[in-house]
Amino acid sequence: MQAYATLTATFARLGALGDASGILGWDTQTQMPDGASDTRGEQMAVLSVLAHEILTDPRNAERLEAAEAEAGLGEWERANLREMRRAYAHAAAVPGDLVAASSRATTRCEMVWREARRDSDFARLRPHLEEVLQLQRLVGEAKGAALGLEPYDALLDGYDPGMRRARIDPIFAELRAVLPDLVVAVRERQAAQAPPLPLPGPFPVAIQREIGLRLMRAVGFDFSRGRLDVSLHPFCGGATDDVRITTRYDEASATGALMGVLHETGHALYEQGRPAAWRHQPVGQARGMSLHESQSLLVEMQACRSAEFCTYLAPTLREAFGGEGPAWEAENLHRLYTRVEPGFIRVDADEVTYPAHILLRYRLETAMIAGDLAVADLPGAFNDGMKALLGLTVPDDRNGCLQDIHWPGGSFGYFPTYTLGALAAAQLFKAACAAHPGIRPALAEGDFSQLRGWLRENVHARASLMETDELLIAATGKPLGADDFLAHLRRRYLGAAA
The model's pLDDT over 45-58, given as tens digits with 9 standing for 90+, comes to 899 989 999 999 99
The per-residue pLDDT for range 8-37, each reduced to its tens digit, is: 999 999 999 999 999 999 999 999 998 998
The per-residue pLDDT for range 434-448, each reduced to its tens digit, is: 999 999 999 999 999
The per-residue pLDDT for range 164-183, each reduced to its tens digit, is: 999 999 999 999 999 999 99
Q: Please, what's the largest Cα pairwise distance for the chain? A: 70
Is 404 a residue whose pLDDT tops 70?
Answer: yes
Is 498 a residue whose pLDDT tops 60?
Answer: no
The per-residue pLDDT for range 291-342, each reduced to its tens digit, is: 999 999 999 999 999 999 999 999 999 999 999 999 999 999 999 999 999 9
Is 497 a residue whose pLDDT tops 80?
Answer: no
Residue type, 205: V
DSSP annotation of 401:
T
The per-residue pLDDT for range 87-103, each reduced to its tens digit, is: 999 999 999 899 989 99
Instruction: Provide the pLDDT confidence category of residue 143 given band limits of 50, 70 and 90.
Output: very high
Query: So what's the pLDDT on residue 41?
Result: 87
Runs of H (alpha helix) within 192-274:
205-219, 256-273
- The dihedral sign for the CA sequence 418, 420, 421, 425: positive
Average pLDDT, the chain: 96
Say which residues have a Cβ less than 8 Å from residue 1's Cβ, sequence separation at least 6.
67, 70, 72, 73
Contact 368, 378 (CB under 8 A): yes
How far apart, in whole angstroms, are the C-alpha atoms of residue 414 and residue 308?
32
For residue 51, count other CB atoms closer than 10 A to its CB.
Answer: 20
Q: Is 197 helix (H, G, I), strand (E, B) or coil?
A: coil
How far apart, in whole angstroms, are the C-alpha atoms of residue 283 and residue 76?
7
Q: Helix and strand tally (H, E) in the chain?
A: 20, 3
Contact 196, 325 (CB under 8 A): no
Contact 29, 93 (CB under 8 A): no
Instruction: Provide the pLDDT confidence category of residue 347 given band limits of 50, 70 and 90.
Output: confident
Is 412 a residue whose pLDDT tops 70?
Answer: yes
Query: So what's the pLDDT on residue 366?
Result: 98
The per-residue pLDDT for range 206-218, each reduced to its tens digit, is: 999 999 999 999 9
How far apart, in whole angstroms, are the C-alpha atoms of residue 400 and residue 387?
11
HSE of 472, CA atoms in CB hemisphere, 13 A: 25
How far apart, in whole angstroms, are the C-alpha atoms of residue 105 and residue 126?
13
- Percentage of the chain modeled with pLDDT above 70: 100
Query: So what's the pLDDT on residue 131?
Result: 98
What's the rounded mean pLDDT across residues 257-274? 96
Residue type, 306: S
What's the rounded mean pLDDT across residues 187-195? 96
DSSP annotation of 477:
S
Sheet holding 226-230, edge to edge: 226-230, 242-247, 236-239
How far apart, in whole angstroms, are the C-alpha atoms of residue 201 and residue 160?
41
The per-residue pLDDT for range 215-243, each reduced to its tens digit, is: 999 999 999 999 999 998 789 999 999 99
Can you give the pTM of this predicted structure?
A: 0.93
Instruction: Provide the pLDDT confidence category of residue 255 given band limits of 50, 70 and 90.
Output: confident
HSE of 83, CA atoms in CB hemisphere, 13 A: 26
- The dihedral sign for the CA sequence 227, 230, 235, 239: negative
As annotated, the active-site residues are 264
Say which residues have a Cβ less than 8 Å from residue 5's Cβ, sequence separation at least 6.
none
Torsion of CA 338, 344, 347, 350, to 10 degrees: 20
